[in-house]
Amino acid sequence: MNLAHGSYFLLGGYVGLTTAARTKSFALALLSGSLAVALIGLGMERFFLRRLTRQSLPQVLLTMGFALVFQDLALLVWGGDPYNIAVPAFLAQSVQAGPVFVNFYRLFIIGVAFAVGVVLWLFLERTRAGASIRATVDDAEMAQGVGINVPLLSAGVFALGAFLAALGGVVGAGFIGVYPGLDFEVLPYAFVVVIIGGLGSFHGVVVGSLVVGLLDNFGKALFPELSYFTLFAPMALILALKPTGLFGKR
Amino acid sequence: MLSVQDIHSYYGDSHVLHGVSLTVAKGELVAILGRNGMGKTTLIRALIGFTPPREGRVVFKDRDVTSLPPFRAVEMGMGLVPQGRRIFPSLSVLENLKVAGNAKARWNLDRVFSLFPRLAARKAHAGDNLSGGEQQMLAIGRALMTNPDLLLLDEPTEGLAPMVVREVAKTLEGLRREGLSILLVEQSVPFATRIADRVHVLSRGRIVHSCSAAELLANEEVKSRHLGLGS
């Protein structure tokens, strides 16, 4: 349970922003933002969260504290103005397809999301490291009992999560921008996706994120006065009918 | 191989093991017998490091492993076949074996599959989609994949049909002939006395009797008092 996950998104965006401004390279922005935040995640896991294994409430309190610290640090370093990362020229153009204009950058975002999803799936389902992760999710104690270095694996998975959140932050900074408060704007989405999809399930995340993305956008466009309702009502419904989420086992 | 020196284990405030000591020599098969709730599983959990003992020492291959994390103990050559088998349900049979494998391949997939041909036939099955006997074979195969020098087994006959129990017994006898040391925790006196060299009887967290397997079979008093076998 990590309430600082939105902060990783925000920090990734800001680090990417600074890199892009200094180097004029979007690729370097993606890389530096993700890697810097992965390191932060690694440090948080190693020195703080490792002591709180399987203690949800202390985890919530600790990561909430981190989220507040990151929020203020970001304000101190990058100030209160909203920024957009300059995206490469070929991604900034649009093309007209019949009655609609399609922005290349939106297609790029969909492409990145798809690619990350496929690579993650292959990693989890087709590699020995992926099988070790699934074994640890099934039964962490027994995973140690067959020789899996669970502390190392947990740190790696946590850093990977931070890496991906920050990657999303840099990509998002070229689209929705990066600004104070963004961290706590994206956090509920991540939670609703996991709650709808089910804890510990990759398929759940894929389905959950599609459901949340579509509901939220169509909800805001069609019934703007209901906005958050179209997001949280389905979540409440699923929690009532299937408390473990669509694909969760626990 | 293994020397357990006066270990005391607790679950919370409840004192479960009261100073247990025992040894397992290389190539020896030692059984701990006892009824439910006498501390058998606690003993295995203390040895592998799931619940390290609060006092006493566990020495494995001349090294103190008392407070070593479980995966280190496994790396050093302790293999675990846990109570209830604890097969990873999200993994296929093949993956259950592979995650336990390491580079020092004295044991590999081919050897495990030739020992348990039924697992080879089901290697694509999900781990939770097996019969009890197949799960037990997979649990033993998985432990062998870690290349153990000492195999810890916690009630391997629990819930198995008599025919499967005989198969497990034959497998363990075969492994012991190859030089593997085995520490077995059991409720079933016939199973344990058939394959063990020596037996210890565990009652309320203490070893109350130690003898050879044959001597235990002849000792009606110990059997009825501590193992609930009246004659």
pLDDT for residue B230 is more than 60: no
Q: Do A147 and B95 touch (CB under 8 A)?
A: no
Residue, of A206 and B13, whose pLDDT is higher = A206
Spatial CA neighbour of A246 closest among A216, A208, A189: A208
Using CA coordinates, name the residue in chain B closest to A133.
B99
> Could you write out the DSSP letters of every residue in B83-144?
TT----TTSBHHHHHHTT--TT-SS-HHHHHHH-HHHHHTTTSBTTSS-HHHHHHHHHHHHH
Tokens 């399609």 belong to: A102
Q: B102 — phi, psi (to 5°)?
A: -135, 180
What is the ipTM, given to two decimal places? 0.91
> How far is B174 from B162, CA to CA, in rounded Å?
18
pLDDT digits (tens, 9 = 90+) for A196-213: 998 888 889 999 999 999
Confidence bin at B129 (pLDDT 50/70/90): confident
CATH topology classification for B2-226: Rossmann fold (3.40.50)
Distance from CA of A246 to the nearest CA of B (A): 16
Q: Does B105 touch chain A (CB under 8 A)?
A: no
Q: Does A141 touch chain B (CB under 8 A)?
A: yes
Q: In what order do the strands lie in the sheet with B198-203?
A: B78-81, B150-154, B181-186, B29-33, B198-203, B206-212
Residues of B in contact with A142 (CB under 8 A): 82, 86, 88
The residues facing B210 across adjacent strands are B200
pLDDT digits (tens, 9 = 90+) for A142-191: 999 999 999 999 999 999 999 999 999 999 999 999 999 999 999 999 99
Q: Does A203 touch chain B (CB under 8 A)?
A: no
Mutation choice for B interface testing from A146, A148, A152, A247 by most B CBs within 10 A? A146
Q: Does A145 touch chain B (CB under 8 A)?
A: yes
Using CA coordinates, name the residue in chain B closest to A126.
B95
Using CA coordinates, name the residue in chain A closest to B80.
A145
pLDDT digits (tens, 9 = 90+) for A96-139: 888 888 889 999 999 999 999 999 999 999 999 999 999 999 99
Q: Does B176 touch chain A (CB under 8 A)?
A: no
How distant, in Å, are the alpha carbons of A109, A207, A209 from that of A218? 18, 16, 14
Residues of B in contact with A151 (CB under 8 A): 69
Distance from CA of A136 to the nearest CA of B (A): 9
Q: Does A128 touch chain B (CB under 8 A)?
A: yes
Burial of B125 (0-12, 13-18, 19+ CB in 10 A): middle
The residues facing B212 across adjacent strands are B198
Mutation choice for A interface testing from B90, B123, B140, B146 by most A CBs within 10 A? B90
* Contact map slice: B 124-153 vs A, CB within 8 A: 142-143, 145-146
Residue A225: CB atoms within 10 A of its CB come to 6
The H-or-E segment that residue A250 falls in is none
Q: Do B142 and A146 touch (CB under 8 A)?
A: yes
Specify whether the CB–CB gap between A246 and A206 falls below 8 A: no
> How far is A138 from A124, CA to CA, in rounded Å?
13
Residues of A in contact with B146 (CB under 8 A): 146-147
Specify whether the CB–CB gap between A45 and A202 falls below 8 A: no
What confidence score (pLDDT) does residue A97 get?
83
Q: Does A134 touch chain B (CB under 8 A)?
A: yes
Confidence bin at B103 (pLDDT 50/70/90): low
Confidence bin at B105 (pLDDT 50/70/90): low
Looking only at the bridges linking them, the beta strands covering B198-203 and B206-212 are antiparallel
Specify whether the CB–CB gap between A9 and A172 falls below 8 A: yes
Q: Is B1 helix (H, G, I), strand (E, B) or coil?
A: coil
Distance from CA of A145 to the nearest CA of B (A): 6
pLDDT digits (tens, 9 = 90+) for B15-63: 999 999 999 999 999 999 998 888 999 999 999 999 999 999 999 999 9
Using CA coordinates, name the residue in chain B closest to A138.
B88
Mean local confidence (pLDDT), A227-235: 83
- Tokens representing A250 are 């626990």
Size of interface A-B (CB pairs under 8 A): 64
Report long-range pairs for B105-108 (Cβ below 8 Å, ≥24 apart): B105/B147, B106/B147, B107/B144, B107/B145, B107/B146, B107/B147, B108/B145
Dihedral angle sign, alpha carbons of residues A130, A135, A136, A137 = positive
Q: Does A149 touch chain B (CB under 8 A)?
A: yes
Q: Does A138 touch chain B (CB under 8 A)?
A: yes
pLDDT for residue B229 is more than 70: no
> Could you say which of B70, B74, B89 has the minimum Cβ distance to residue A138?
B89
Specify whether the CB–CB gap between A116 and A165 falls below 8 A: no
Q: Do A143 and B99 touch (CB under 8 A)?
A: yes
The residues facing A78 across adjacent strands are none
Residues of A in contact with B70 (CB under 8 A): 141, 144-145
Distance from CA of A238 to the nearest CA of B (A): 23
Q: Do A134 and B88 touch (CB under 8 A)?
A: yes
- Tokens representing A108 are 């790029």
pLDDT for residue B160 is more than 50: yes
Q: Do B91 and A131 touch (CB under 8 A)?
A: yes
What confidence score (pLDDT) does residue B231 get?
43
pLDDT for residue B104 is more than 80: no
- Virtual torsion, Cα A17, A18, A21, A24, nearest 10 deg: -80
Going through chain A in order, the beta strands assigned E by DSSP cover 94-97, 100-103
